[in-house]
Structure 1
Amino acid sequence: MTGVRKEAGTARLTAAETSEFKARLRSERAAMQAEYAAAVAELDNLRRSHTDGAGNDQADVGNTTFQREQQQSIAANRRDLLDQLEHALERIDAGTYGRCENCGRPIPKARLTALPMATLDAACKSREERR
């Protein structure tokens, strides 16, 4: 491996470490599914209260619209996080978890510990964010 610099914490994950990440991701997925369901239920409640004729003056309508848009944003965020968790679990099953989807280098364990659904190493993520 000439010309390849090995950084601390970038070794391939062991089977035990991968199992730990899988258990953590499953736990986070279950929690996120509950949060998403709660956000959707709250959004449904807001829609129902608006269609029931409650709050017919302009201030009430504006407030309801704001609350609904805020709840839509929360639900969309939870759905996105849920998708990321699902993708990470799929990568574990495929044997590609812990490797950067862009360059193929190992993602440091410290990064995976902080963000277990990370798909890019720090350098590739930084380049992506600059675009």
Structure 2
Amino acid sequence: MENKKENSARYSDTELEEFKTVILEKISLAREDLNDLTASLQSNNPNGTDDTSGANAGLEDGAATLEKESILQLAARQKKFIEQLDAALSRIDNKSYGVCRETGKLIPRERLMAVPHTTLSMEAKLKQA
């Protein structure tokens, strides 16, 4: 039966709904993280070093800039992750979710649960490397 499932054209509507639930939960968590990152960028001097002596101000300014750049990179990654999850929802809606874009075979359920936005089976992913 498992072999038949791997070669069938797509996941059932029930299975797609299960994947949709997982993806919606991940989107919700990713948006919360993005909001936290955005809030941390907007807060003024989170380290409370407004009264630091001038001798260390340059070092602290550099550290603050580095931290801000790191937060911006994390926020950009979160945005991309959310976009990929939204694209996965679109594939669920058009019933193409879970089909490898390289091989045309179903991506195993375990892989989709671990990486719900993937469009490649491990077979296809390993060929890219």
1:85-104 Cα offsets, whole Å, 9 max, x none, are 11100110111101012232
Which position in structure 2 is the counterpart of 1:27?
Answer: 25
Distance 1:108 1:77 in 2: 25
2:22, 2:113 within 8 Å by CA — same for their partners in 1? no
For structure 1, the residue ranges without an aligned partner over 5 or more in a row are 1-5
Which position in structure 2 is the counterpart of 1:18?
Answer: 16
1:4-53 Cα offsets, whole Å, 9 max, x none, are xx8586243222111111111111111111111111121222xx449xxx
* Greater RCO, CA 8 A, separation 6+: 2
1:1-131 paired onto structure 2 within 5 Å:
7=3, 10=6, 11=8, 12-45=10-43, 48-49=44-45, 54=50, 57-128=57-128, 130=129
CA RMSD in angstroms, aligned pairs only: 2.3
TM-score between both structures, scaled by the size of structure 1:
0.79
Which position in structure 2 is the counterpart of 1:3?
Answer: none
Identity of aligned residues (%): 27
Q: Name the CA shift for 1:94/1:119 in 2 (closer, same or farther; >3 Å).
A: same
Q: Given residue 29 of structure 2, which amino acid in structure 1 is its aligned partner?
A: A
Give the count of matched residue pairs.
120
Moved over 3 A (4+): 6-9
TM-score between both structures, scaled by the size of structure 2:
0.80
For structure 2, the residue ranges without an aligned partner over 5 or more in a row are none
